[in-house]
Chain A
Amino acid sequence: MAGRKLLIENVHIPGIETYDVYRKNGGYASVEKALKKMTPEEVVEEVKKSGLRGRGGAGFPTGMKWSFLAKPEGVPRYLVCNADESEPGTFKDRYLMEKIPHLLIEGMITSSYALGANVSYIYIRGEFMYILHILEKAIAEARANGMLGKNIMGSGYDLELVVAPGGGAYICGEETALLESLEGKRGNPRMKPPFPAVKGLWGCPTVVNNVETIAAVVPIVNNGGEEYAKIGIERSTGTKLISASGNLVRPGVYELEMGVSVEEFIYGDDYCRGIANGKLLKACIPGGSSVPILPAHLVTKTANGDNRLMTYESLADGGFASGSMLGSGGFIVFDEDQCIVRNTYTFARFYAHESCGQCSPCREGTGWMEKVLHRLENGHGTMEDITLLEEINKKIEGNTICPLGDAAAWPVAAAIRHFREEFEWHVTHPAEAQIRNYGLIQPRVEEIKAL
Chain B
Amino acid sequence: MIKVTIDDIEVEVEPGTSILNAARQIGGEVVPPAMCYYSKLPGTGGKCRTCLVEVAAGSTADPRPMPKLMASCSTSVMDGMIVKNKTSQRVHDNRGGVVEFLLINHPLDCPVCDQAGECHLQDLGYEHGSAKTRYKEERRTFDPIDIGNKIKLHMNRCILCYRCVHVANQLTDSRVHGVMHRGEHAEISTYIENAVDNDFSGNMIDVCPVGALTDKTFRFKSRVWFLKPMEAECACTKCSGKAVVWMFGNEIYRVTARKDKYGEVEDIEDKTAWICNECRFDKKDPSSWNISGPRKIDRHSVISQGQYSTKIDKGLKKIG
Which of A's residues lie within 8 Å of B, judged by CB? 169, 171, 186, 191, 193, 352-361, 363-368, 371, 375, 388, 391, 394-395, 398-401
**Interface stretch of the complex, out of B80-88, B92-100, B281-289:** B92-100
Chain A proximity of B2: nearest CB distance (Å): 17
Which residue of A171, A355, A359 is within 8 Å of B49 (Cβ)?
A359
Bound CA span A365–B134, Å: 12
Known A-B contacts: A359-B47, A360-B50. Give 10 more (CB < 8 A).
A191-B71, A357-B160, A358-B47, A358-B160, A360-B160, A361-B98, A364-B101, A367-B140, A395-B98, A395-B101
A-B interface, 9 closest residue pairs, ranked by CB to CB distance from nearest: A395-B97, A357-B186, A364-B101, A355-B183, A367-B184, A191-B46, A398-B68, A371-B137, A357-B183
> Do A355 and B46 touch (CB < 8 A)?
no
- With A398-B69, A399-B69, A401-B47 as known contacts, state yes or no: A361 contacts B101, CB within 8 Å: yes
CB distance from B182 to the nearest CB of A (A): 5
Chain A residue contacts of B185, Cβ below 8 A: 357
Interface of A is mostly: helix
With A358-B47, A358-B160, A399-B94 known as contacts, the answer to whether A367 contacts B183 (CB < 8 A) is yes
The 8 Å CB contact of B104, one of A171, A186, A368, is A368
Alpha-carbon distance A75/B131, docked complex (angstroms): 54
Query: Could you jot down 29 A-B contacts, CB within 8 Å?
Result: A169-B182, A186-B179, A191-B74, A354-B182, A356-B183, A357-B179, A357-B185, A357-B186, A358-B47, A358-B162, A360-B49, A360-B50, A361-B49, A363-B183, A363-B184, A363-B186, A364-B104, A364-B184, A368-B104, A368-B135, A371-B137, A375-B136, A388-B134, A398-B69, A399-B52, A399-B68, A399-B69, A400-B49, A401-B71
B-side contacts of A352, CB under 8 Å: 183-184
Q: Across the interface, name the chain B residue whose C-beta is closest to A388.
A: B134
Confirm or deny: B57 has a beta carbon within 8 angstroms of a beta carbon on chain A.
no
Residue of B nearest to A387 (CB): B134
Most buried by B among A363, A366, A371, A394: A363
- Assembly CA distance A398 to B160 (angstroms): 20
Write the chain B residue with the least CB distance to A169: B182
B137 proximity list for chain A (CB < 8 A):
368, 371
**CB-defined contacts of A368 to chain B, threshold 8 Å:** 101, 104, 135, 137
Contacts of B98 in A (CB 8 A): 360-361, 395, 399
Residues of A within 8 A of B184 (CB): 352, 355, 357, 363-364, 366-367
Q: A169-B182, A356-B183 are in contact. Are A401 and B100 (CB under 8 A)?
A: no
Do B49 and A353 have beta carbons less than 8 Å apart? no
How many angstroms from the CA of A400 to the CA of B48 in the assembled complex? 9
Q: Determine the distance from Cα of A34 to Cα of B210 in the docked complex, in whole angstroms.
A: 58
B183 — which chain A residues lie within 8 A by C-beta? 352-357, 363, 366-367
Closest A residue to B97 using CB positions: A395
Across the interface, which residues of B come within 8 angstroms of A359, CB to CB?
Answer: 46-49
Is B102 part of the contact surface with A, judged by Cβ < 8 Å?
Answer: yes
Q: How far is the CB of A188 from chain B (nearest CB, A)?
A: 8
Nearest-neighbor residue (CB-CB) of A186 within chain B = B179
Known: A169-B182, A171-B182, A186-B179. A360 touches B52 (CB 8 A): no
Residue among A191, A352, A375, A401 with most chain B CB within 10 A: A191
How far, in whole Å, are A361 and B71 apart by their CA atoms in the complex?
A: 13
Min CB–CB distance B27 → chain A (angstroms): 25
A40 to chain B, nearest CB (A): 30
Interface size on B, residues (CB 8 A): 37
Residues of B within 8 A of A357 (CB): 160, 179, 181-186
Separation of A171 and B136 alpha carbons in the complex (Å):
28
Confirm or deny: B204 has a beta carbon within 8 angstroms of a beta carbon on chain A: no
- CB of B202 within 8 A of chain A? no
List, in ascending order, chain A residues with CB within 8 A of B159's CB.
360
A112 CA to B59 CA in the complex, in Å? 35
Report the Cα distance A342→B184, complex, angstroms.
21
> What's the nearest-Cβ distance from chain A to residue B160, in Å?
6
- A279, B272: Cα distance in complex, Å: 69
Q: Determine the distance from Cα of A394 to Cα of B93 in the docked complex, in whole angstroms.
A: 10
**Beta-carbon contacts of B108-145 to A below 8 Å, as 1s and 0s?**
00000000000000000000000000111100100000
Least distance between B124 CB and chain A CB atoms (Å): 11
Q: Is B45 an interface residue (CB 8 A)?
A: yes
Q: Knowing A355-B182, A355-B183, say if A399 contacts B134 (CB, 8 Å).
A: no
Q: Is B105 an interface residue (CB 8 A)?
A: yes
* Closest chain B residue to A398, Cβ basis: B68
User: What's the minimum C-beta distance from A425 to chain B, rounded to whole angstroms?
Assistant: 21
- In the complex the two chains form, is A360's CB within 8 Å of B69's CB? no
A171–B186 Cα distance when bound, in Å, is 14
Instruction: Give Cα A368 to B182, complex, Å.
Output: 15
Which chain A residue has the least Cβ–Cβ distance from B100? Answer: A395
Which of B46, B94, B105, B182 sits near A364, CB closer than 8 Å?
A: B105
Write the nearest CB–CB distance from B90 to chain A, whole angstroms: 10
Q: A393 → chain B, closest Cβ, in Å? A: 10
Q: Which residues of B contact A186 (CB under 8 A)?
A: 178-179
List A contacts of B178 (CB < 8 A): 186
User: CB-CB < 8 A to B50: which residues of A?
Assistant: 360
Residue of B nearest to A189 (CB): B46
- Bound Cα distance from A368 to B101, whole angstroms: 9
B45 engages A191 (CB within 8 Å): yes
Bound form: Cα–Cα A365–B184 in Å: 9
Closest to B50 in A: A360
* B48 and A360 contact, CB distance less than 8 A: yes
List the A side residues contacting B160 at CB < 8 Å.
357-358, 360, 363
Contact partners of B100 in chain A: CB under 8 A = 395
Given the known inter-chain contacts A360-B47, A395-B94, please indicate yes or no for A365 contacting B182, CB distance below 8 A. no
Q: Which of B49, B181, B182, B185 has the most CB of A within 10 A?
A: B182
